[in-house]
Amino acid sequence: GQQVMQIPQYQHVQEGEDFTTYCNSSTTLSNIQWYKQRPGGHPVFLIQLVKSGEVKKQKRLTFQFGEAKKNSSLHITATQTTDVGTYFCAESNYAGGTSYGKLTFGQGTILTVHP
C-alpha cells in the first residue's frame, strides 16, 4: 500500500534553533495531515494540506505541500522546550468510499530541545 517516508527519525536541537521534518512519497499524495505527540501523550492534529504548493502557518510552525504533491515539510522557527515531542505526517486515503478517512502515517520524527 501507500508508503510515506519521514525523515529524520531523530532531531536534537538547542532551544532557539530551527527544526524541519520531511515527508516523502514515490506517488502523488491525496492530502497530508500533520500530528504532534507529546511524550506520554497521544497524537493531536495540527493541520491538513490539500492543494499543490500549499503553505500554511501556525505561529512558529510552517507547513508546506510540494508542487507535485509528493512531499511535505513542517518547519519550526526558534524552537522552544514546549515543542518537544514526535511529529507525524499522515496521508488520507481516498481509495474508495469505505476507505474515506483512513490515514497512512509516516514513522515520525522525535524532536528533543535542549534548554
- Cβ–Cβ under 8 Å, residues 61 and 46: yes
* The one among 42, 59, 82, 115 contacting other proteins by CB under 8 A: 42
Instruction: Map residue 21 onto helix, strand or coil.
Output: strand
Residue 107 binds other proteins, judged by CB under 8 A:
yes
Segment 57-96, which members bind other proteins (CB under 8 A)?
A: 88, 90, 92, 94
Does residue 44 interact with other proteins by CB under 8 A? yes
Residue 41 is given by DSSP the state S
- Strand bridging mode 85-93 / 109-114: antiparallel
Residue that the C-alpha cell 504532534 belongs to: 36
Q: What does the binding site for other proteins look like in residue numbers (CB under 8 A)?
A: 1, 6, 9, 31, 33, 41-45, 48, 88, 90, 92, 94, 98-108
